[in-house]
């Protein structure tokens, strides 16, 4: 039996979007491919709220994160981490011989703007890498406040991981001043995994031009220059199936209206949070909760694995806690195409199983 | 109107395989994902004729080529190129600060075993990178003969690009002694683009363990160690849609029988070659022609672009010559699920358009 995925990615994909994954192939050097990919970039510019270029990569979001930190650090990168995916930026830097320092806070906390100010104020860094929405903890960093600090340091390129938030929450990329904003298909955009996208600001382009040895497949500058020259065709054969599905899904998204979409996500989040507060506790900083996934403290000492097994029999899946938070927390994702009714149906089933 | 793709990738994908791309999602950390991905590796081991590990990468074949040359060169790489894709290996090495030398022959020629012997005999190299089947020229390197030479140099790791040949022609990976044999979904395996696979020998693993700064997303050793530890789950969310389709396509492939499949490819190749010899000329070394794509010299001075436009109206697409060979040659691919009847139908239409 298929399980409806209330996990923080891959998400449940709508049937009509899935069907677009089965479209017959076209040549990747055809005018049709150019027009498809150009159209996707144009629509993603609306979702990202940016006038900068959009790059597509046949990879997971991690691929573009690696490309970004490698291509855009000339001096030293400051990586701020609030969980598992924040730390990944740092590993990527080290694995690519990119000078970097890791600034971590306790899991469940957000990054404070003053902390960013203190670190960037040392003058050691020309890049900051930050997670917007950390699925391992359910915390969303206060990027509005952080943006004000980063703007004080015009030499710093800002890379932001919005893998699990873009499309589900309002992220005005240009207004914030994010230089490389990265997302992935399998989260709030509501597609299967396999495609990543990022914005690429003029400042980031200029920086990359001054960085040598940026690699090949994940070199953001190579992608950028190729699509300028070849009318939105990519150096390597891209996942055309994902392109068909993303183009279609973006049309649906813009039809729904981005503000309606964000509102829907907030409604779902608030419903889950209220339920969690009543029956358990919410994990982490209540002032910086994620709009796409809620992490719940297992204050009742239930077996999360058993709960998920029972839910599985009823056609639902939620997530256990991540890494060291396993069984101590559990996670319910509320993103992409789900509605409040889907969330209510899940919660009713959890209530029934746990006799709440 | 959909055009049947007689281009050297992406290939025409069978309708039932396409439908598998539209399967609903599963969690990438589930037992189901482990079992799916383990099964694919087992079946690919049969296709690759190898006992070594198989790695899957959500990227194009270029991603794994870059990973291979970066992870497995400790001293210096010798890159042998017979066309556009051979040269790409060299660019990848340089872009990653990997010491490398490029050995090129004229487009249309194959690499001679003596040339490899002469180069490796210098003792400068611990890696050789080679294209098996070069789609820019329609030449297939004589890997059987080349293998005998490479075996004389046990310190050399052999990386072979079989992106456009694996699944369409017999490549006994272990018997040849190839250490990293790379292929991609959208060629002779008959799937949409977006997934790559490679074998990874013990010698290559040992080598990678002695190379620092191998990157993150395309680090073959990281993929290898992760799937050992996590029962064939991957570090980043993989393209599950491609996994569903590849698993299904591999079952079909093994049902057809690999020998029957190779025979079918040879029959199609021979039919196109005979037609080309009669009406045009074959481009390049007649002793080393590709079984999956034929490059034809435009001895009649036709407009290839116009021919393709006319074919397009009838629902077919072939390829113009690659790069500097544009209009001087054209290419007909005969791979994946096509049968002799498909090829005959295409050729009849070309004959009709060109009044041959």
Over residues A48-54, mean pLDDT? 98
Q: Rounded distance, CA A166 to CA A183, Å? A: 6
- pLDDT at position A207: 98
pLDDT over threshold 90, residue A208: yes
Q: Tally C-beta pairs within 8 A across A and B.
A: 178
Mutate one of B6, B97, B164, B194 to test the A interface: name it (highest A CB count within 10 A). B194
Contact A217 B25 (CB under 8 A): no
The mean pLDDT of A187-215, rounded to a whole number, is 98
Which residues 129-188 of chain B have a CB within 8 Å of chain A?
184, 186
- Report the pLDDT value the prediction gives residue A80, as an integer from 0 to 100: 98
Residue B294 CB partners (closer than 8 Å, separation 6+) = B138, B269, B272, B273, B276, B282, B331, B332, B334
Q: What is the rounded average pLDDT of the residues A132-149?
A: 98
Q: Which of B20, B24, B187, B337 to mutate to test the interface with A (most CBs of A within 10 A)?
A: B24
* Interface-testing mutation among A225, A237, A238, with chain B (most B C-beta atoms within 10 A): A237
Which chain B residues contact residue A21 at CB under 8 A?
Answer: 21-22, 241
Contact between chains at B26 and A13 (C-beta distance less than 8 A): no
Residues of chain B with Cβ-Cβ distance to A92 below 8 Å are: 216-217
Cβ–Cβ contact B84 with A under 8 A: no
Q: Which of these, B145, B322, B237, lies nearest to A59 by C-alpha position?
A: B237
ipTM for the predicted complex comes to 0.98
DSSP assignment of B326-348, as one string? Answer: BTTEEEEE--TT--HHHHHHHHH
Choose from B188, B237, B317 for mutation: most chain A CBs within 10 A: B237
Evaluate whether the domain defined by B16-254 bears CATH number 3.40.640.10.
yes
Find the closest chain A residue to B190 by CA distance: A25
Beta carbons of A216 and B27 less than 8 Å apart: no
- Which residues does B142 contact at the CB level (< 8 Å), separation at least 6? B110, B111, B113, B287, B288
Q: Which residues of A are annotated as a binding site for substrate?
A: 331
Who's near A131: CB < 8 A, 6+ residues apart? Answer: A80, A81, A82, A83, A85, A86, A89, A141, A160, A161
Q: In angstroms, what separates the C-alpha of A108 from chain B's closest C-alpha?
A: 23
* DSSP secondary structure letters along A136-163: TTTEE--HHHHHHHHTT-TT-EEEEE-T
Residue A279's SS3 state is: helix
pLDDT of residue A102: 98
- Contact, B317 vs B342, CB < 8 A? no
Cα(B190)–Cα(B116) distance, rounded to whole angstroms? Answer: 32
Cβ-nearest to B239 among A19, A91, A192: A192
What's the mean per-residue pLDDT of chain A? 98
- By Cβ distance, the residue of B7, B12, B217 closest to A63 is B217
How far is Cα of residue B288 from the mean position of the Cα atoms in its chain?
16
Q: Answer yes or no: do B240 and A214 touch at CB < 8 A.
A: no
Residue of B21, B214, B217 with shortest CB distance to A62: B217
Chain B residues touching residue A129 (CB < 8 angstroms): none
How far does chain B reach from its first CA to its final CA, in angstroms?
A: 26
Reply yes or no on whether the pLDDT at A42 is more than 90.
yes
Residue B342's alpha-carbon distances to B272, B316, B330, B347, in angstroms, are: 11, 10, 18, 9
- pLDDT tens-digit readout, A82-119: 999 999 999 999 999 999 999 999 999 999 999 999 99
CA distance B242 to chain A (A): 9
Nearest CA in chain A to B23: A18
pLDDT at B219: 98
| Gap from B302 CA to chain A (nearest CA, Å) | 21
Query: What pLDDT is attached to residue B187?
Result: 98
Q: How high does pLDDT run on average in chain B?
A: 98
**Residue A294: other Cβ atoms inside 10 A:** 26
Domain at A19-254: CATH code: 3.40.640.10
Please, what sign has the CA dihedral across residues A156, A157, A158, A161?
A: negative
Which B residues, 26 through 45, put their C-beta within 8 Å of a C-beta on chain A? Answer: 26-28, 30
Q: A308 in contact with B at a CB cutoff of 8 Å?
A: no
- Measured CA to CA, the distance from residue B87 to residue B9 in angstroms comes to 19
Amino acid B185: pLDDT? 98
Pick the CATH number of B4-10+257-354 from 1.20.120.1200, 3.90.1150.10, 1.10.230.10, 2.40.50.140: 3.90.1150.10
> Which residues on A lie below 8 Å from B198 (Cβ)?
none
Q: Does A189 touch chain B (CB under 8 A)?
A: no
Q: Is the Cβ pair B239, A3 closer than 8 Å?
A: no
For chain A, which residues make up each domain, given as ranges? 4-10+257-354, 19-254
pLDDT bucket at A1, cuts 50 / 70 / 90? confident
Residues within 8 A of B (CB atoms), A 208-247 only? 213-219, 235-242
Q: Does B241 sit within 8 Å of A241, measured CB to CB?
A: yes
Count other Cβ atoms within 10 Å, centred on residue B270. 15
Q: Is A323 in the B-facing interface, judged by CB distances under 8 Å?
A: no
Q: Which residues of chain B have pLDDT under 70?
A: none
């Amino acid at each position: 039996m298929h399980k409806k995925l209330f996990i923080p990615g891959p998400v449940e994909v709508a049937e009509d979007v899935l069907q677009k994954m089965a479209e017959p192939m076209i040549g990747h050097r055809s005018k049709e491919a150019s027009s498809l990919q150009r159209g996707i970039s144009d629509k993603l510019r609306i979702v990202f709220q940016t006038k900068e270029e959009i790059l597509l990569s046949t990879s997971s979001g991690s691929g573009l994160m690696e490309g970004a930190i490698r291509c855009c650090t000339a001096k030293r990168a400051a990586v701020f981490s609030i969980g598992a995916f924040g730390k990944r930026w740092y590993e990527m830097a080290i694995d690519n011989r990119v000078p970097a320092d890791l600034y971590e806070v306790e899991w469940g906390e957000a990054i404070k703007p003053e902390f960013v100010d203190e670190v960037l104020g040392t003058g050691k860094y020309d890049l900051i890498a930050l997670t917007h929405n950390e699925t391992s903890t359910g915390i969303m960093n206060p990027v509005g406040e952080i943006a004000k600090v980063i703007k004080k340091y015009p030499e710093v390129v800002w890379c932001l991981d919005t893998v699990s938030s873009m499309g589900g929450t309002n992220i005005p990329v240009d207004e914030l001043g994010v230089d490389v904003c990265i997302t992935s298909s399998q989260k709030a955009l509501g597609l299967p995994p396999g495609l990543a996208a990022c914005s690429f600001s003029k400042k980031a382009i200029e920086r990359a031009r001054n960085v040598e040895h940026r690699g090949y497949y994940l070199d953001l500058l190579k992608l950028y220059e190729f699509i300028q020259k070849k009318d939105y065709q990519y150096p390597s054969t891209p996942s055309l199936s994902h392109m068909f599905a993303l183009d279609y899904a973006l049309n649906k998204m813009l039809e729904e209206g981005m503000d309606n979409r964000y509102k829907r996500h907030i409604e779902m989040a608030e419903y889950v949070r209220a339920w969690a507060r009543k029956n358990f506790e919410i994990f982490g900083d209540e002032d910086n909760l994620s709009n796409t996934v809620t992490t719940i403290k297992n204050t009742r000492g239930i077996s999360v694995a058993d709960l998920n097994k029972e839910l599985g029999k009823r056609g639902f899946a939620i997530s256990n806690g991540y890494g060291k938070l396993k069984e101590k927390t559990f996670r319910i994702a509320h993103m992409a195409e789900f509605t409040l009714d889907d969330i209510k149906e899940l919660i009713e089933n959890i209530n029934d199983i746990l006799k709440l």
